[in-house]
Structure 1
Amino acid sequence: MFTLAIVGRPNVGKSTLFNRLVGRRLALVDDQPGVTRDLREGQAKLGDLNFTVIDTAGLEDATDDSLQGRMRRLTERAVDMADVCLFMIDARAGVTANDEMFADILRKRSNHVILAANKAEGSAADAGMLEAYGLGLGEPLRLSAEHGEGMSDLYSVLLPISEELVKTKEDETAVTDIELDEDGNPVADDMPSESKPLQIAVVGRPNAGKSTLINRILGEDRLLTGPEAGITRDSIAVPVDWAGTPMRIFDTAGMRKRAKVQDKVEKLSVADGLRAIRFAEVVVVLLDADIPFEQQDLRIADLAEREGRAVVVAVNKWDLEDDKQGKLAALKEAFERLLPQLKGAPLVTVSAKTGRGLDRLHTAILKAQDVWNRRVTTAQLNRWLTGMVEAHPPPAPGGRRIKLRYATQVKTRPPAFVVMCSHPDKLPEAYRRYLINGLRADFDMPGTPIRLTMRSQADKNPYKDRKKSTPSRLRKHLGKPSPKA
């Protein structure tokens, strides 16, 4: 399988083509230029070709440390790591000076460059198609990523390149990847198959350091970072083997208060981040040590809990804190007071800049995921329920005490329990919280969301609602007519 990087100026349709190739709307798309900033990878399918496609930020004429300069360096890195580069231009706008400059760069840095003129539907694109020949990258493909035109031509160009790349990689593998023993015989590969990666979403307010933290975990500058707030727009998933644990970490856009989110692209970014939370198993809520537990932080943590995700609270920029012991005690007190629904959830301090505390964060994530998957047997639950009822009997509305008959766990991820009882609608919320807190304490389930449903035991008597009928012999004796008459 080969890798295809889609590159070009801003707003030429790279993300639209990316979404078409992967078959889903993964990348954010909007009419305004510069929406994409990070590298987004996806598994593409075109006919019988399966390959990895990379959506890149728009190439701009900037080489300094500005945001545009950092975006360009990230795109150039994608060019270096890809097997094939698809260079897109806007057929309606024609060839620009930046297109010519980037064509020269690609000619030097990539062995396989495909020139594609997008937005080429209709006669308005004919002039741009003719200008594209002057870039010296061969015959341009006439594409319309929005309408799916030209996909067969793209397949025809990619097929021979993919066959060449596959043959080259097979030859390299045959020479370099076969391990031999002392006698020169091949050694059998007994490596276990890779387990399903753990899904992690890192969320928080803008400029909390989410992308910097993930880069530190990866050990490379994979995600775009900088002093500007709100750099990340797409929810980018990056695979990583972190301390022997295969993970898939989602970097999400910073979430501001809803009233402050006016820009359309920011609304799309926040919606993308919420979708990442729903797909995650563990959500790391990243706080800024200078301003922790602001109202928006509490909303984000509460959202993760309501979605039923395992939650880990991480406080970033800990290297800048002077009174660490005093600040940590204040953080724990505020956590218990402001987020009682996450009582017992891990609270760890980290520094994305220096890497301090990442081992504690790794341990906390694995523990939260283990608790999130915990299952309790029905026998244990019913012994526990008997003890809870004896310690604090349920109330007796109207003089008739509510009976809790038995309990069972119906699912995990998060743990969900059902208690069969009489009059569940009359059981107060305070008693339900009493049972949930008991489950947390007695079965070691701190921090994880617990779903507890009170249900009335169905009466299985099939004659309960039927009217009593008089036997036939008694009807004759009383002189009553038959029901069939």
Structure 2
Amino acid sequence: MKPTIALVGRPNVGKSTLFNRLTRSRDALVADQPGLTRDRHYGHGRVGSKPYLVVDTGGFEPVVDEGILFEMAKQTLQAVDEADAIVFLVDGRTGITPQDKIIANRLRQAKQPVFLAVNKAEGVSHAMATAEFHELALGEPYAISASHGDGVREMVEMVLEFFPDAEEEDKTHHPKFAIIGRPNVGKSTLVNAILGEERVIAFDQAGTTRDSIYIDFEREGRKYTIIDTAGVRRRGKVNETIEKFSVIKTMKAIEDANVAVLVLDAQLDISEQDATIAGFALEAGRALVVAVNKWEDLELQQKDTIKRDILRKLGFLDFAKFHYISALEGRGVGDLFKSIDAAYKAAMSKLPTPKLTRILQVATERQQPPRAGTVRPKLRYAHQGGMNPPIIVIHGNALDRVPESYTRYLEGMFRKAFHLQGTPLRVQYKSSDNPFEVEATGGKPGLMRHKGLK
């Protein structure tokens, strides 16, 4: 399970800059203006030797009791409570402020390990940059520069030392699926409907993610594990309607599942939050099934409008199977399992190299990749590079020039040939390092070919 690292500090100390560096993205807005980040941003850490999740919080003003700054402070405190480790960022140029001392007092009460990072320390000796921050009594301060990258990787490695290496792929060989979605869309009702089916045997097992429940059960002789992300239910409280939603818990559940079941509310507009949660599943490479809930009371015209709205806003989930259900009445719930089984099978598929290469050859004969200047990319052979999601690695020449549109064409060919319904598919390219294979003369065949392939 990936640990979660929360970035905490008063406004304008460089949290968003550090977030962007850790995620190697530009997802968080950065400007020389305090209070720019108001909501939490979530991403996958890509700096360091172990995988992790990172949360960028808004500027923490602990002394306010109303207004937007108060709401930002509440968001930050929730992120602190849910994180596995906390990086407290301070400004090495400004020095210690009264707010820093108040935040430090609050963080000393946290159960999670806290790491003090002194930012904007470029051009200054580490001893001089960190000297006064020992006063905060949060352990050894680390001098870093989020904007230049100085000391960032070393600090991250120190944080990650507290956590074990990522566990190997689950070898239980049965579908593990997570029920995900925004609040009040019917996730609790759907979990209850699933566990209330006939021929179901269920028992609770505490998960490694705080407040998530892993429930093993059998349905029609097949084993499943459902991950309930609501975080408030036990078997004795299965009818509670209030559930606490957390993006962190959802992300962790997605990471630990083979299949994600995204629950939408048919009686509400498809929101940005729905698309964001779906995006988490897609980025994690998880197979996906979509359950459009509360379908029972809608008129025919409303149903047509909702389907068009879903197609427009969630078009990037065209690989997933959509089900229109009523969790409250149990309608359509049984059909979900057919799609969960199919998505799991597709995600864990083994793709033989000979068949992959034949499909690649058929695809290129039917439509060659477009030229890039005087060079046409040459696709030679393909093999499987991983599963959950399936990864197809294509070898050849000048493959860095294959356009995105052609990659989507190849994905469609592979998906159709192997019946990969319900799972994302990733195509990766690996160009030859042999200079004799480089197509430098208008796409003519190279001097050498992979053994056994022409």
TM-score, normalised relative to structure 2: 0.50
TM-score, normalised relative to structure 1: 0.47
Pick the structure with more helix per residue: 1
